[in-house]
Amino acid sequence: MRAAVLTEFGAPLTVQEMPDPVAGGGEVVVEVLASSVAPYAGEVFGGRRNYPLEPPVVPGLGGVGRVVSAGPDATRLRVGDLVWCDCTVRSRDDALTPDITLQGWSSRGEGGARLARYLHDGAYAELMRVPTENVYPLPAEAADDPARWCSVGVYTIPYGGLLAGGLEAGETLLVSGATGNLGSAAVAVALAMGAGRVITPGRNRAALGLLADRFGRRVRPVELTGDEDTDRTAMSAAAEGPVDMVIDLLPPAAPSSVTRAAAMTVREYGRVVLMGGVGMLGGADLALPYPWIMRNSVTVRGQWMYPRSASVGMIRLLASRALDLGPERVRAFPLDAVNDAVAYAAAHGGPFDRTVLTPPAG
Ligand SMILES: NC(=O)c1ccc[n+]([C@@H]2O[C@H](COP(=O)([O-])OP(=O)(O)OC[C@H]3O[C@@H](n4cnc5c(N)ncnc54)[C@H](OP(=O)(O)O)[C@@H]3O)[C@@H](O)[C@H]2O)c1
């Protein structure tokens, strides 16, 4: 098979011949039809994100494919099935706190790194080997446009955060980083889940307008000034009532004060879910005031990715059209143009812009 390989951090990916993967027990080999290229992929491959990838490696964050072969313990999958391959791989020898690797992308701790050495390669290839439990059947209509259905991976991330925070229909949610790739996805998913109102702070007026145009009155844009107190007051005012939940999806480079201003809009007994990674690259800590958390009985929790059932829930939301993939702007690149795709993705990371690799089509 052919695959795009990161030979060392900072070098362009090279497309080369590699041996076809073989499915062992508990594994599936999938022909990759489409795989997303994240806007920050170039930062990962350039080494600027300090991700614990070990080159040479085929990167890629899961994708849409067809089952080529399955191990003997797969009881329902059939060769030819159209599937979503989720990159979130968990070790099988600890039910409570399994090690996790994002196959072909990242990992957590030494256990995650060990897992990543075994399930080393990701989706930027014609074929990929994935654990059986990471493969989810897709509706037949996904075959018409596999590149569009790669958005499953984008939407499931904020969906994991919204599930973690227990978002309920009719509630008011504030999305910190709403104009970003994942933040805008959080807005769309929350509305599909029945959120009554979504507060969308941001600095980019055009992106804020795009969210308001697409979703109408349930979205309440707030232009940020950079002043923590002013911004918190404006976000609270836009809610016209209590904010039940805040989800933060700002990138690591953003100042913690922006996350704090958003978090502190939440009501008494409200929930704050942290997903973006502010502080991961240094900078001031988030420093939410202890007395504020305690006196307001606020729940603050982090969320990395999502539980297994979230992929099923997300495919259900898309198949039922509760969440519509129609408005996505999808740009597909063949495998040979992988470096062009990485550059394009970096320049097109706004709301509902998707960059996808389509390995077999050429
Ligand atoms: N927890 C998880 O499971 C998980 C999974 C995947 C990724 N992540 C993390 O999620 C992060 C967000 O991803 P993404 O792709 O959505 O990033 P992105 O598209 O770059 O989003 C950037 C967002 O942050 C805002 N922002 C950046 N700097 C800001 C500042 N100084 N002040 C105010 N707003 C600022 C941008 O607002 P403007 O429009 O105003 O610029 C935009 O809304 C990633 O960086 C990654 O680390 C987490």
pLDDT at 361 over 50: no
Task: Answer yes or no: are the C-beta atoms of 35 and 84 closer than 8 Å.
Answer: no
Summarize pLDDT for 263-296 with one digit per residue, the tens: 999 999 999 999 999 998 888 999 999 999 999 9
Q: How many CA atoms lie within 13 A of 151 on its CB side?
A: 29
Where do we find the tokens 């990715």?
305
C-alpha 44 – ligand 1 centre gap (Å)? 14
As a whole number, mean pLDDT of residues 239-257 equals: 96
pLDDT, the chain, mean: 96
Summarize pLDDT for 182-222 with one digit per residue, the tens: 999 999 999 999 999 999 999 999 999 999 999 999 999 99
Pairing of strands 88-90, 127-131: unpaired
Spell out the residues 6+ positions from residue 350 whose beta carbon is closer than 8 angstroms to its own. 179, 181, 184, 204, 207, 210
305: closest CA among 86, 50, 39, 43?
Answer: 86
Mutation to probe ligand 1, out of 36, 50, 203, 272 (largest number of atoms < 8 A from CB): 203
Residue 306 alpha carbon, nearest atom of ligand 1 = 3
**Ligand 1 contacts CB of residue 179 (under 6 A):** yes
Cα distances (angstroms) measured from residue 290 to each of 18, 236, 307, 359: 53, 20, 29, 50
pLDDT at 360: 73
Closest residue by CA, ligand 1 atom 31? 254
Summarize pLDDT for 133-149 with one digit per residue, the tens: 999 999 999 999 999 99
178: closest CA among 150, 215, 207, 155?
Answer: 207
pLDDT at 176 over 50: yes
Q: What's this model's pTM, rounded to 2 decimal places? A: 0.95
Mutation to probe ligand 1, out of 249, 353, 354 (largest number of atoms < 8 A from CB): 249
Backbone angles phi, psi at 350, to 5 degrees: -80, -175
**Ligand 1 contacts CB of residue 45 (under 6 A):** no
Where do we find the tokens 């497309």?
15
pLDDT at 362 over 50: no
Residue 40 alpha carbon, nearest atom of ligand 1 = 15
What is the spatial distance between Cα 85 and Cα 66, in angstroms, rounded to a whole number? 10
Summarize pLDDT for 69-113 with one digit per residue, the tens: 999 999 999 999 999 999 999 999 999 999 999 999 999 999 999
Summarize pLDDT for 149-170 with one digit per residue, the tens: 999 999 999 999 999 999 999 9
* 157: number of Cβ within 10 Å: 23
pLDDT at 359: 86
Domains detected in the chain: 2-153+323-357 (3.90.180.10), 166-302 (3.40.50.720)
pLDDT at 281: 82
3-state secondary structure of 245: strand
Cα distances (angstroms) measured from residue 113 to each of 6, 29, 164, 194, 280: 17, 22, 25, 38, 18
Closest residue by CA, ligand 1 atom 40? 203
C-alpha 181 – ligand 1 centre gap (Å)? 7
Task: Answer yes or no: are the C-beta atoms of 354 and 325 closer than 8 Å.
Answer: no
Residue 253 alpha carbon, nearest atom of ligand 1 = 28
What is the spatial distance between Cα 11 and Cα 56, in angstroms, rounded to a whole number? 11
